[in-house]
Structure 1
């Protein structure tokens, strides 16, 4: 699999923000200079180097360009160039984690080369983790940028032992990129000081002097982590032409020319939405009764609580078990009469709205809370369980769309995952994971819907031991995993091999063919992990202050990709698919409030007050060109906000403004401002308020799709009474007749493709290069013959009767009667290709059986009817990435649709004046047939006059061609015709019609015929 990249407008804007700061700089390709050959080197062909041309613009010209860039984004206007690290040009580019910061500065290098000819770039990073990630990004984007710019960049990681690469960096005229981590030049070790030393193996030159001669453009990735004294002292020695600083959280301000902060990224749907499953512990006074409320399910009757309690087994052993308990259930009885549950632990209330359970003794438990005798080990087990559940929930939703789900555990020591003192080498977390995974896997397999067969097969085929893996450093002496070497002042590992493993497996991990779905990694390695398909993150580590919540979730914010490498970024469904679930070891409220505070603290460049002064001078784009907001216009905006209570006495934007904007009910702007409404609202939105912070969902509560008032409409209830009758089917046919028909069909239709094999001959060419041999280009084809291979499988034994009987659901005797009746010449094809013979014979026999079934089929009503509860029974775990827009005539607010045909059909149903009410029939509404249960698509009530109604059950198919409908589908459809035809015979008026339609127009043709 190969990740795909496409041009994104927001990324192009980030590139233009940098490049436009130098408008007017002439294009100069490759300023040549004499490379210092060194005292011990002879003059050679490598004397000539190519450096970046000096900046031809004056400081005032550059500042004017910067101001233009800032105005068009309504950023604070700089009054001077801010020098730093011995460089007069320092530009700040703010980009939220997960929005493609690395991609943007790589593209910026290509664009600067294209417009101005600059070609020497150094990417400087604070850690080996980021260095390896940047290098990987340069590799995987190389072809993409070659297609866009017609050239490739040469890139390498600086290594003081490979200085020939530095020589090439200077002498090559193309785009050259050096990636270097600050430890390579600001640490005290001998290897790190080599950059400043005259080296015998470098012709007695100093590497830093050779670097500086190129006048490189420095790109600092995460500059806030590189502000130590040693780094700031070293930067001027590189003699940079300019310094570009890319980060989501700038600590020191320079000239800020671009902002894409956390609010922008979330509101523009450029990163994943966040959900949190909080886990909190609290003590119960006077008792050590263990309780954990996993969550609450909505059932057909009443809410059910998923509670983990201690239970006494028949053997006398006490074990913790997860139970589904209802109102008035007594934990004393449920536990096998354990004393800790004796006093008042009877369920008094289950509140699904607030996710709480209350007991008769007054104890109230919230979802995600554990109480009583709870150890750290218990919490970690709960976290692992919740992570697996969140993973399987997401996987069940996304599997059919070709999106692989990955989950990531961060742990604080390797022994928790891989314990070499144990015979099986499994650490505590690996053991707990496999135990919990096996239990949950069986539970999910038993509850999968009937249409989830592909996912069922995928899930059942993956073993617990094969689906988790550890990515840690490796001790090269023992070949065992080890904890990373982390510096005393740093939180980042210096072990290259750990990052190499993670990054090397990046694309492979995205494939369904790779069974690894759960990844354990060391918390110190967090910056090496940026796989886009991480959907669940769990912190199995002791809390500390070195890693913020925002840093933690940053590893999983990138938008996911499917099996083709395409990014899932369509605005309509981006936040239905891309949701990152964080399993936290603190309460939901604590985690969310902490996360939002951290986000708010980073929004330093955003104004907090909507004043006249702030609006004055802001830029609006018109057909005639950009104009500035005048003081008079600013006063109108200010009064508009105050008049509608969209700002308060402190001039802060209120939640009323954001609520009205989301609902589309904002008050109209004054007439003079109306032509510029969109841009004015964008400027208002740039003023920070708490109401703008990303909404963090509770990961335990699925998005709901409630039944609405349409469900209670008389027309729907009458339709429902006409179709909710349950029935059983009868099929009476003569086996001899079936045998005769099958024999006749096989004799005329059965044709088997003989097994063949092809023999090709070729000859090796002469004078081949190593590259040709490695590429397989050393041979040319000289001949090819095809032979029939009937004897290829002669040693394989086939249970012909058994396989055909299994495929057709007939007895072995009936199958034997059929096969012995066919012509000898037809049967002889079995030897030619046994597998194809079995498949084709099974298909033809099944078709004949289906035709006879339909002819002889009859339905008998039973006393039971479908209850309306089936409309609410499957409301959890729905795939809202396939949901329609909100509907007005449907019995639910949304319809979960299965194809583009259904999507178009829903749009027409919902806008039709003839349709009174309709429903996508729930999965639980099934018609029994001899070839499996059948679930029709739609129930529709049409208005055909003041009194009369037409009731219709419709199946939507993209084609009516019998060649494209599978035989089993055709059989089920014909059985449904029988079913609805027979139950409608007992209705005196307004009978139910059933048919298959390709679109709404076809449906209306049938309905019109019924009216006539």
Structure 2
């Protein structure tokens, strides 16, 4: 099978955020445009063909700031060593984004030399596999742009010469360790990577010199693991990069942040699987002495951390962690708040020898690392975890097998011997987890509810328990599994044995997705930190006995990507895309821990605002007309207004009063902030977002009520709204021309290429040479007339308008002098205006017409959906006979309140949340209305409504595309001419007004 790739808007936005850095660079025209020379954006040197940047640093910085303002990010004040950062949540297609950016940078500017630097050989394999998987896709998207990609191999250094001399797109994929050793120390040349050694076959030059001459664009994949040392930073600088593009979900340093898709945005926009937590843990009854050994250490004296039950001052007992040692913190009776159960538990000794870690007590009790006294047996808890993981897996298979979706489950373990044992001189044997898995799997599949899964026509009908699970671990020379070495930060301390296992899992991504491969349950080392994931991992179960160095975010990242079917098509149904985490802690503990990790990694505290939170909001400068950030002082004014109004407490925590005002659209600001009110609301909404993690304990099956589906009321409502329409567009070119002229005339003045003069007094001291008292002046360059690109052909390609219309727009705008100053920037600005105004006019001029009685949606739309919801999170129970389902699943607080009031209103006889497959065609994409409602007024008149619920009904507050779809929806239902009223409402009261 081959995975197919779809174009996603957020990915295009991320790509554009990078390509716009070079706006104004001479464009590389298409084959159908007047030639501007064979090589554009390239420079021929002695050693090959390299990238050539024509923009000045100040011009690039100006572009960077424009992108940052557009994306509501903090504005950079310098280029920061030409580093540009893209932050994207795991599973959202980071590799796809930077790969497509390569094609776009070549298409727009002619850049052709790229190097992708990765942290390890394993991730290098994953990136190379991604290029193979997307090769056909990009060949179709960019015909005629040949891309040659290869893995750097020190035994094939001739590839470096070919890389430097080729005129095609060249992409080298290299791990940082391949070029960071002794590259600048002549005395250590014999220990240096081969890339830094002189070669006779290269006329006495070093391979690195060929790379340096190409001035490559360097893409750093997971920079927090690549340039995390001074030596690594120097190695990257030795490539002589034109710039460095940095991609990760968890950056340590965010130089020039250009685009940000954080975890909450990714979950809310359904770009990754939603997460549900299934807790498997024992109740704490506090009736026995409970002690669990969590870790030991001999750093600064022998000590250990244990978990015990402590009596608090108010008499309640709570499970807590305590540090103990053989000297002054050795008596658990005292540490437990003098609980009699712990009398006699006095620490006698602590052993820190690897493999023999333990604590001995004076009463003769011995506690080994990971073991507990008084609690439920750890192996029994692990058995329950494995059982629940298999049960959840089989439940999902029942739902998804008929849709051609293979389900995978991933178990994380910390020691190979728990999965496979190698007795000396004997064949390997199953470890305890392998045995438990086969016992539980064999028992569960015999249950009647899973009988249909094992019918002869199913792909798993003849698979034995032994066939369906396997391990991915490092292997020694004998082929035996072995433990990987892991650093304190959770990164893999790799060696060749480790890499072999990870290369295997990287290369078999598509094979694992096929029904033909029996493997469905994967056991692996916790060191699967980054670089590997699989879209069809639906369950993750952690069976780790000792302190775990891996974060929850690292683990769930292995299964966040949206799933695919057997045809390789991505699945966007949120009912399918649910990742279940089988945790050995409570839902509350898991959610809080994951949220804290995200706060630590992103620097954003959920539910809080700070004085500088609003500083990136922009206002137009009345003098220059340019958009400028409001800055810290203005932001602080907004912040203290919120504190004064008791919307925030003194520490900046968002109060319920503010949440309710935002949800009810009653939030207002003083006149001095009116101009930025919508931006203030946007910042507040972002701060009060929550991670959508669901508790499986509250999961409910949303079942179809067939009696309602077949009722007269439902048929009456459905027969009015079910008909399909077709639309036509009357685009008035004169109106379009005049609108475009008006908008182009409002554009800020375009600046020609500039010359920068800097003046500084050099200061020389022990710290080196530095500049003092720097001054800078910028002049507009008076250049000879350059050859201008064919603006009409460019605009025709980008807008699909006739040449005559384009000529009228350009001449009428009276701005062609700006085209001479900065051709590329002017062409792109005009193109954006034309396309925006064209969209507006299309919606204004659209006409819908009912196709006829034969074209309509079937009631079976409701029968085909298999839905689940979560009480207290996204599901509302519905009264009998009032809707076609027993629960309504909502997407927002507005929808929840609307559903509850529909359910409780006696005038409402029937209401339905329209299925996602009920769509209206529009030129802006498919539109799915929210509700269909049947209301009986004063027990006499029956009224029928289709309702769209939004947080705001203000036209200015709704985005152009969203507002356009709503307008199309209104025109569609009007065209049915059968008495259905279309309403837009932000509350139930708004809906009921006027009925």
Give the alignment's TM-score, normalised by structure 1.
Answer: 0.56
Q: 1:173 aligns with which of 167, 178, 187?
A: 167
Displacement of 1:438 after TM fit?
1.2
Q: Counterpart of 2:530?
A: 527
- Out of 557, 560, 568, the residue aligned to residue 565 of structure 1 is 568
Q: Deviations over 1:641-661 (max 9, x none)?
A: 568754334444334544665
Q: CA deviation at 1:235?
A: 2.0
Q: Is the 8 A contact 2:699 2:869 kept in 1?
A: no
Q: Are 2:215 and 1:215 aligned? A: yes
Structure 1 residue 912, shift from structure 2 partner: 15
Structure 1 residues 455 and 401: alpha-carbon distance in aligned structure 2, compared to 1, 3 A threshold: farther
CA distance in 1, matches of 2:616, 2:700: 43
Which residue of 429, 432, 435 maps to 2:436?
432
CA deviation after TM superposition for structure 1 residue 156, in Å: 0.9
Partner of 1:600: 599
Question: Does residue 131 of structure 2 align to residue 138 of structure 1?
Answer: yes
Match for residue 988 of structure 2?
none
- 1:555 and 2:558 correspond: yes
Is the 1:266–1:273 contact (alpha carbons within 8 Å) kept by the matching residues of 2?
yes
The alpha carbon displacement at 1:462 in A equals 3.4
1:378 paired to 2:380: yes
| Partner Cα distance (1:696, 1:918) in 2 | 28
Change (3 A) 1:78 1:239: same
Among 125, 135, 152, which residue is 2:118 paired with?
125
Cα deviation, residue 175, structure 1: 0.7
Question: Which residue of structure 2 lines up, in the alignment, with residue 61 of structure 1?
Answer: 59
User: Where does residue 581 of structure 1 map in the other structure?
Assistant: 580
Match of 2:885 in 1: 895
Match for residue 703 of structure 1 among 696, 700, 703: 700
Q: CA deviation at 1:380?
A: 2.4
Q: CA deviation at 1:69?
A: 1.0
Partner of 1:536: 539
The more displaced of 459-468 and 184-193 is 184-193
Encode CA deviations 1:68-116: one digit per residue, 9 max, x unaligned: 1111122111222222xxxxx1112211111111111111111111111
Q: CA deviation at 1:186?
A: 2.4
Correspondence for 1:408: 410
Unaligned runs of 5+ in 2: 28-38, 183-187, 292-371, 714-865, 888-898, 914-932, 943-977, 979-995
Structure 2 residue 40 is the aligned partner of structure 1 residue 29: yes
- 8 Å CA contact 2:148–2:169 kept in 1: the answer is yes
Inter-partner Cα distance in structure 2 for 1:553 and 1:649: 35
The 3-state SS of whatever aligns with 1:19 is helix
CA separation of 1:260 and 1:426: change in aligned 2, threshold 3 A = same
Higher deviation after alignment, 586-595 or 551-560 = 586-595
Q: Hey, what's the Cα distance between the residues in 1 that align with 2:569 and 2:464?
A: 28
Change (3 A) 1:466 1:647: same
Structure 2 counterpart of 1:9: 9
The answer for the alignment partner of 2:228 in structure 1 is 227
Q: What are the Cα deviations for residues 551-608 of structure 1, in whole angstroms up to 9, with x where unaligned?
A: 1111111111222222223xxx42x322222223334333322211011112227898
Q: Distance in 2 between matches of 1:667 and 1:59?
A: 43
Q: Deviations over 1:780-830 (max 9, x none)?
A: xxxxxxxxxxxxxxxxxxxxxxxxxxxxxxxxxxxxxxxxxxxxxxxxxxx
Match of 2:276 in 1: 275
Rounded to whole Å, the distance in 2 between the matches of 1:242 and 1:629 is 26
Q: CA deviation at 1:628?
A: 6.1
1:177 and 1:271 map into 2 onto residues whose CA distance is 28
Where in structure 1 are there 5+ consecutive unaligned residues?
37-48, 84-88, 291-369, 717-876, 898-905, 921-939, 950-1000, 1002-1012
CA distance in 1, matches of 2:75, 2:289: 61
Contact 2:198 2:205 (C-alpha < 8 Å) held by counterparts = yes
Q: Which residue is 2:78 aligned to?
A: 80
Alignment of 1:257-336 (within 5 A): 257-281=258-282
Judge conservation of contact 1:211–1:238 (CA < 8 Å) in 2.
yes
Matched, 1:398 2:400: yes
> Take 2:533 and 2:90, find their aligned partners in 1: how far apart are those partners?
10
Q: Provide Cα deviations, 1:24-50, integer angstroms capped at 9, x if missing partner.
A: 1224536353555xxxxxxxxxxxx21
Q: 185-194 vs 389-398, which deviates more?
A: 185-194
The correspondence of residues 721-760 of structure 1 with structure 2, limited to 5 A, is none
What secondary structure, in the 3-state scheme, does the structure 1 residue paired with 2:116 have? Answer: strand
1:273 Cα deviation from its structure 2 partner: 1.7
SS of equivalent to 2:173 = strand
Cα pair 2:122 2:506 within 8 Å, conserved: no
CA distance in 2, matches of 1:653, 1:919: 34
Q: Distance in 1 between matches of 2:259 and 2:935?
A: 56
Contact 1:715 / 1:916 at 8 angstroms: preserved in 2? no
Q: State the structure with more CA Rg.
A: 1
Q: Structure 1 CA distance, aligned partners of 2:456 and 2:674? A: 52
Q: Please state whether the residue corresponding to 1:82 is helix, strand or coil.
A: coil
For the 8 Å contact 1:705–1:893, the answer to whether it is kept is no
Instruction: Using the TM superposition, give the Cα deviation of residue 172 of structure 1 relative to its aligned residue in structure 2, in angstroms.
Output: 1.0
In the alignment, structure 1 residue 50 sits paired with structure 2 residue 49:
yes
- Cα deviation, 1:409-459, whole Å, max 9, x if unaligned, reads 12223333233447673222211101011112222x3477x9x89799556
SS in 1 for 2:260: strand
Tell me, yes or no, if the aligned pair for 2:116 and 2:173 is still in contact at 8 Å.
yes
Distance in 1, matches of 2:478 and 2:241, equals 44
CA contact (8 A) 1:163 1:202 kept: no
CA distance in structure 2 between the partners assigned to 1:639 and 1:458 by the alignment? 63
CA shift, 1:638, in A, is 6.1
What residue is the counterpart of 1:116 in the other structure?
109
Distance 1:469 1:620 in 2: 58
1:106 matched residue in structure 2: 99
Residue of structure 1 in register with 2:359 after alignment: none
Shift of 1:408: 0.5
- Aligned counterparts of 1:590 and 1:553: Cα–Cα separation in 2: 15
State the 1:285 CA deviation: 5.2
1:829 match: none
Q: Deviations over 1:120-151 (max 9, x none)?
A: 11111111222111111111111111211212
Quote how far apart the aligned CAs of 1:157 are: 1.0
Shift of 1:385: 1.4
CA drift of 1:185 comes to 1.8
8 A contact 2:281–2:585 mirrored in 1: yes
1:152 aligns with 2:146: yes
CA contact (8 A) 2:884 2:912 kept: no
Counterparts of 1:941 and 1:634, CA distance in 2:
47
Deviation at 1:884, TM superposition (A): 12
1:679-705 C-alpha deviation (Å, 9 max, x unpaired): 55323334x3xx423032223431365
Once residues 562 and 16 of structure 2 are traced to their aligned partners in structure 1, the CA distance between those partners, rounded to angstroms, is 23
The aligned runs of 1:521-920 (5 Å cut-off) are: 521-544=524-547, 546-569=549-572, 573-574=573-574, 576-604=575-603, 614-615=613-614, 618-619=617-618, 646-658=647-659, 661=662, 666-667=666-667, 679-686=679-686, 688=687, 691-703=688-700, 879=868, 891=881, 895=885, 916=909
Superimposed CA distance per residue, residues 176-228 of structure 1 (whole angstroms, 9 cap, x where no aligned partner):
11111111122579786212111345443312112111111111111112221
* 1:800 matched residue in structure 2: none
SS of structure 2 residue aligned to 1:591? helix
Counterparts in 2 of 1:594 and 1:910: CA distance versus 1, 3 Å: closer
* 8 Å contact from structure 2 (residues 405, 564) kept in 1: yes
| Aligned equivalents of 1:590, 1:607: Cα separation in 2 | 16
Q: Which of 504, 507, 510 is the matching residue for 1:501?
A: 504
- Name 2:194's counterpart in structure 1: 194
Q: CA RMSD in A?
A: 4.7
Residue 531 of structure 1 deviates from its aligned partner by 0.5
Task: Work out whether residues 14 and 104 of structure 1, in 8 Å CA contact, stay in contact via their aligned partners in 2.
Answer: yes
**In structure 2, C-alpha distance between the alignment counterparts of 1:67 and 1:60, rounded to whole Å:** 11
